[in-house]
Structure 1
Amino acid sequence: MTSNWSDLPNDLLDELSKHFTIMNDLVRFGAVCVNWHSYFTLNRNRPLPCKRPRQPPVLMISGQKLQSRYYHLYSSDGVVETHNIPMTVPHHKFLYASTHGWLVIGDFHDLSVHLLNPFLSVNNRIDLPLLTAMDNCYLVDFYPMKRSYVHAYISKAALSVNPTYTSNYVLMIIYGFGSQLAFFRPGDNAWTPIGKKGAFFDIVYFKDEFYAVTQDGEVFACDIHHPHPKLRRVAPPSPKDRTTDIYLVESLGELLQVKRLFHFSAEPQLTTVRFKVFKLVLDPPIRHVKYKVGKGKYKQKLIKPTQNMYWVEMKTLHGQAVFVGENSTFSLSSSHFPGCKANCIYFTDDSQGHLFGDPPLDLGMFNVEEMTLEEHPVMNLSKGMFPRHIWVEPTLLGATIN
């Protein structure tokens, strides 16, 4: 047996690679030496076991020409690391959203849209129906007028599962100026709108259904497996606050609503001042109250659940870290990734100010338990850079190492 670790046989390297659970470990593996880098390059598209924890996201920041820069914010030892990984997204195209490591990319010239996974070198693109392929789409009416209308046409996207591992997936989007819902299944030639309800702000796949939240905090669910999917209301609006952004996120098996509160000033840009987190109780108890109506006579009155029975404000995330922005909102355990701060919400600037030339400045961290805003060195370094930053989850099938 060789005594030189750089000459380990491929079958042993195969066995080693099966035990990686963190994207940064995979990157380090390929950077150990020339032989290990060659092995990694030859096998980077070999599927690894997909039963692994969700990965800490990377913050995608624009690079030069046809490249974008990825800042890895977290590693298993808690050290901030930066990796420059090329990604072929031409600057004449624009980025709508990210979900499960896939970017939703649009083209202004022909109104085409597709999914792109920047961590894969093969099978990394999925073409989607044209933006105009909507039953109630009126984008064509605005298309000749302003480029910004097209840029804002898809505001959020969420996948049911990662297409890297299965073809049995569904992509749900919030689209149009009415912020309505539509979905796509592999093989569809057009988007399928769901109902006429609008004003949605975020969507998430939770317990085999898509959940969507409106601007006022009202929550609807959609069973996408039904032959004719429809929306059903599952919760009333959450407690009112001043104008906010609202996100839905699955955390520790529960559905949370995260409300982002802003400070308004004479400046055109919004500034985040704090977050509020509410847990959704999907089936609050219905009470029966017995009351007297006469001598020896009683009646029962049905007491329906009140608003505060559906929404319970939380003062902790129980050790989770939550990532919000133009990405599909998600959480992960800080105990799995010590570099992620427990009970913190990491946020990027997802306002519409960029459509009018305002630089993305509203990004940072919020500690839910301490109710304090915190700064992150990489986030500070990239403030004001165009295009806007977006969280992307790494796909553990390999990536190019520079």
Structure 2
Amino acid sequence: MSRVLPEDVLLKIFVALEVPDLVRAGSVCSSWLHAYNCLWKLGSWIRPQTPSLIYTTKSSGASDTGFFSLQENKPYTLSLPDPPIRCRYLIGSAYGWIITADERSELHLVNPITGDQIALPSVTTIEQVKPIYDSNGAIHMYEYSRYTGVDGYLDPPSVFHLHKLRDYIFYKAFLSSDPSTGNYIIVLIHNPYWQISFARGGDKQWTWLPYHACYTDCVFKDELLYALLADGEIHAYNLNDPLVKPQVAMEGLKGCPPPKMYIAQAPCGDLLQIWKVPEYSEQDAEDVSDPDLDPSDDDEYFSVSEDG
């Protein structure tokens, strides 16, 4: 007589699996498939996963993507919904989802494992973008204005073809939580001048944060968005506050900041600033004025930020 494992036991087993093994488990039988689907719908199944690589090749179809499992050292081919994945730009990833920009410069969330796709608010609802219509009422160009909430207009507007705007406007994208739950926020760092806009799941337009520009990176922690400025200053935003004004969580650097800076959450929960500085040649090293900076050190070093 066969016995079926209770679903709660299956779920405890499934949450410990790597993604490829989890997908295989869902194909064993109807009860395992039901547990597998429940886990995806909950959006809370994710355990720390071994990174996987996403890529496309000319030999595969335009809607096919390669998925290389580093844990298994094995490639897979996955078919994703249109628009064709090969024609999209990838500007971010989190919680098993990727954020892509298609040939019309429109943004989509895509889950490469399940094939689920979520259309994000139109690029025409970003503050600095306006649609240009043809004689038939269809959008055929975009007007892109270069201004910030602090400095106003810095350059005259430009006009771009639909596929070209994404080359100029998108920088990075970030997710607050798993979009499978429907309760998430997506944040864009976009041009001109690395400004921030955000949207909640189900929103029809982007909300612009006009208080500052020159943001280089973001991270969500404790329901706050921490945004890193190019000078090292960190701002904390409560995106659930109707006023959504920044609070300074860490002051900026005096003098010349490193050329590349990032922000990340350490396993202990603290926020880290990651500075990337170039390696110096022996000739360059003679010109280094700071005796504490050893050009033989690794080109990345870490600084714990105040997190408010």
Quick check: TM above 0.5?
yes
Partner of 1:118: 112
Give, in whole Å, the separation in 1 of the partners of 2:20 and 2:7: 14
TM-score where L is the length of structure 2? 0.71
Report the Cα offset of residue 129 of structure 1. Answer: 1.3
Give, in whole Å, the separation in 1 of the partners of 2:159 and 2:38: 42
Contact 1:134 1:193 (8 Å CA) reproduced: yes
Q: Tell me the amino acid that sits aligned with residue 74 of structure 2.
A: T
Please state whether the residue corresponding to 1:129 is helix, strand or coil. coil
1:51-105 deviation line (CA, Å, top 9, x unaligned): 654333322122422211122223xxxxx53241404143223222112222112
**Equivalent residue for 1:171, pick from 169, 183, 186:** 186
Alignment RMSD: 3.2
Partner of 2:301: 276
**Equivalent residue for 1:21, pick from 15, 34, 45:** 15
Please state whether the residue corresponding to 1:132 is helix, strand or coil. helix
Contact 1:100 1:161 (8 Å CA) reproduced: yes
Aligned length: 259
Give, in whole Å, the separation in 1 of the partners of 2:33 and 2:202: 32
Shift in CA distance, 13/82, structure 1 to aligned 2, threshold 3 Å: farther
Partner of 2:70: 73
Report the Cα offset of residue 279 of structure 1. Answer: 0.5
1:240-268 deviation line (CA, Å, top 9, x unaligned): 67753221111111011112233599xxx
Report the Cα offset of residue 239 of structure 1. Answer: 7.2
Give, in whole Å, the separation in 2 of the partners of 1:277 and 1:159: 24
Give, in whole Å, the separation in 1 of the partners of 2:245 and 2:22: 47
Which blocks of at least 5 consecutive residues in structure 1 are unaligned? 3-8, 75-79, 266-272, 284-402
Shift in CA distance, 158/194, structure 1 to aligned 2, threshold 3 Å: same
Partner of 1:234: 249
Report the Cα offset of residue 22 of structure 1. Answer: 4.0
Report the Cα offset of residue 28 of structure 1. Answer: 3.0
The percent of aligned pairs where both chains have the same amino acid is 21
1:275-321 deviation line (CA, Å, top 9, x unaligned): 111101246xxxxxxxxxxxxxxxxxxxxxxxxxxxxxxxxxxxxxx
Give, in whole Å, the separation in 1 of the partners of 2:224 and 2:27: 45
Contact 2:10 2:32 (8 Å CA) reproduced: no
Please state whether the residue corresponding to 2:188 is helix, strand or coil. strand
Corresponding position: 1:108 with 2:103: yes
Partner of 2:124: 132
Contact 1:71 1:82 (8 Å CA) reproduced: yes
Partner of 1:201: 216
Contact 2:264 2:272 (8 Å CA) reproduced: yes
Give, in whole Å, the separation in 2 of the partners of 1:112 and 1:146: 9
Contact 1:62 1:69 (8 Å CA) reproduced: yes
Give, in whole Å, the separation in 2 of the partners of 1:18 and 1:239: 50
Higher relative contact order (CA 8 A, sep 6+): 1
Contact 2:249 2:306 (8 Å CA) reproduced: no
Give, in whole Å, the separation in 2 of the partners of 1:119 and 1:239: 45
Give, in whole Å, the separation in 2 of the partners of 1:146 and 1:29: 39
